């Protein structure tokens, strides 16, 4: 079994799941069917990027999510002015 990867979120070390079963288990129930579909449809040349995407989704980073929300709001405001 693969050892979990480690990262820091909010100054705390957290495990990042890096196997298909562990990623699936870390996701909210409502996202698991979409994860299963993405993994099952990924070709050999895509599987690494698909897994990386879902690994990051399985370990949410509130600071990154706040930044993305602010960027989206700024973009929406910019578009409404233009």
Q: What is the pLDDT of residues 20-48, one digit of tens each?
A: 999 999 999 999 999 999 999 999 999 99
Q: What is the rounded distance in angstroms from the CA atom of residue 23 to the CA atom of residue 70?
A: 27
CB 16 within 8 A of CB 6: yes
**pLDDT value of residue 14:** 84
pLDDT of residue 61: 77
Tell me the DSSP string of 18-62: -SHHHHHHHS-HHHHHHHHHHHHH--TTTHHHHHHHHHHHHS--H
**Integer Cα distance of 73 and 82 in angstroms:** 14
Q: Percentage of residues in the chain with pLDDT exceeding 90?
A: 41
CB 22 within 8 A of CB 64: no
Better-scored residue on pLDDT, 22 or 72: 22
Nearest Cα neighbor of 51 from 63, 64, 66, 40 is 40
Specify the pTM: 0.69
Mean pLDDT for the stretch of residues 51-78: 83
Please give the mean pLDDT across all residues of the chain: 87
């Amino acid at each position: 079994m693969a050892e979990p990867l480690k990262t820091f979120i909010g100054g705390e070390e957290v495990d990042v799941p890096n196997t298909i079963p562990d990623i699936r288990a870390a996701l909210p129930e409502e996202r698991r069917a979409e994860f299963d579909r993405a993994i099952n449809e990924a070709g050999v040349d895509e599987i690494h990027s698909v897994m990386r995407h879902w690994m990051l989704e399985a370990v949410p980073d509130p600071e990154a999510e706040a930044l993305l929300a602010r960027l989206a709001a700024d973009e929406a405001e910019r578009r409404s002015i233009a």
